[in-house]
Amino acid sequence: MPTTTGNTPRDFREKNRGGNARASKKPAARPRTRARLRPFTVEHFRRWAYGLTLDTGDRWEVEDFQIEIVADLFAGYRELWAIVPEENAKTTLFAGVALYHGEHTVRPWVPVGAASRDQAEILFSQAAGFVQRSRRLQGHFRVYEGYRKIACLRTGGRGIKVMAADANTGDGVIPTLALVDELHRHADLALYRLWKGKLGKRGGQIATFSTAGEPGSPFEEMRETIRNAAVERTRDGCHLRAVGRNLVYHEWQVPSAAQARDLEVVKAANPLRRITVGYLEEKLASETLDFGEDWLRLTCNIPTRKTNVAVPEADWDGLETDERVPEGTPVWAGVDFGWLYDTTAIAPFWPRDPGFRLLADPEILSPPRDGTMLDAEEVKAAFVRVHERNPIEVVVAPNTSPSRM
């Protein structure tokens, strides 16, 4: 059995202090270093990220929900979808992932695409900011602002570059990691499909990160297909993880619109630590909040039909005129009713001749949005206000036939 002697390290040092010149000149032992970690592991990524500086001046401490996403990317799934409400640092996460991939992949090629080039530049700016603020990255990358490109100095390759959103100009890409930002804003899935088709050449991956979109859109139909085709589903509160054939899907979402005012549930769908119930309460109380767009879709991550973009703002601006519908002139009224969440709109217009329509000021009525419906008497009063100025001859409303007043 092992025996204990009196020669502890301290005893040894005391015996040889000043009396053994040879021993006193022995080099001191090097301090023990941290265990060396392998790249593309969660532990390595977490430690690597802590060396980066956020725009707040703080070190980047990757949160647990972000690690869940990154772990599946490192597991090798060819496609990764992350559907998370706004303000949950999606862009920061994937900007960091792009740099990490660029630093640890031989000849990396990371194209970044979005519905518009300006949108894709948000991720580029986040990644460039990491490089400019983080000393340990500055010998590894060089930022070319004018080219919207970040060169990987030690690993070569094409680096990280913002690409045009049009699939017709996105060809020629052979990605090691393709990133598609806010896929719900794309007119279709053409760019995603194009880049996905290029992955086999270098065994690459593609990741898209977004919030919910409009019901019936190609993006939402694909989300439904992914969920239905999954061979494995795991739900933890508001978080769904679904696994398909070489695809993994993460979604943080309030389960239903009926729970959209339960701030504890909404918080569960917003996993970032700095988003608190108090912050959400303040956001919901804002006078300028659009409940459908700002709250249901962007904060609760519930697919919601847009109510304010039927005609782009630029087109509306081009149609502006100083001409007004003369008082007393009979008008038609286009009406869209919303009783619980969406607004009710009464938009009178003057059909002066077959090729001319002049819109008058509309009546817009917002429901209480406290679980009760808009009072029908308020809608009646709005019709009366319009009718007293310009007699309404015809009302046109969705799913109804034109009717004469």
The yes-or-no verdict on residue 3 having pLDDT over 50 is: no
Q: Which domains does the chain have, with CATH numbers?
A: 42-297 (3.40.50.300), 313-404 (no CATH)
Give 55's DSSP letter. Answer: T
| pLDDT for residue 168 | 61
Q: What is the mean pLDDT of the chain?
A: 85
| pLDDT for residue 12 | 31
Share of the chain above pLDDT 90, in %: 61
Instruction: Provide the pLDDT confidence category of residue 239 given band limits of 50, 70 and 90.
Output: very high
Cα 5 from Cα 292, distance rounded (Å): 77
| pLDDT for residue 313 | 41
Contact 88, 272 (CB under 8 A): yes
Q: What separation in angstroms does the CA of 323 have from each of 320, 357, 360?
A: 9, 11, 10
| pLDDT for residue 24 | 42
Instruction: Provide the pLDDT confidence category of residue 10 given band limits of 50, 70 and 90.
Output: very low
The 10s digit of each residue's pLDDT in 17-54 is 344 334 444 454 544 545 689 999 999 999 999 999 99
Report CA Rg, the chain.
30
Cα 205 from Cα 78, distance rounded (Å): 5
Q: Which two tokens stand for residue 7?
A: 């020669």
Between 157 and 9, the higher pLDDT residue: 157
Element (H, E) at 188: none
The 10s digit of each residue's pLDDT in 261-293 is 999 999 999 999 999 999 999 999 999 999 988
The dihedral through the CA atoms of 394, 399, 401, 403 has a sign that is negative
Between 116 and 391, the higher pLDDT residue: 391
Between 359 and 313, the higher pLDDT residue: 359
Q: Which two tokens stand for residue 378?
A: 């308020």
| pLDDT for residue 306 | 57
Note the residue count of the chain.
Answer: 405
Element (H, E) at 106: none
Contact 292, 279 (CB under 8 A): no
This prediction's pTM: 0.68
The 10s digit of each residue's pLDDT in 99-109 is 999 999 999 99
Instruction: Provide the pLDDT confidence category of residue 72 given band limits of 50, 70 and 90.
Output: very high
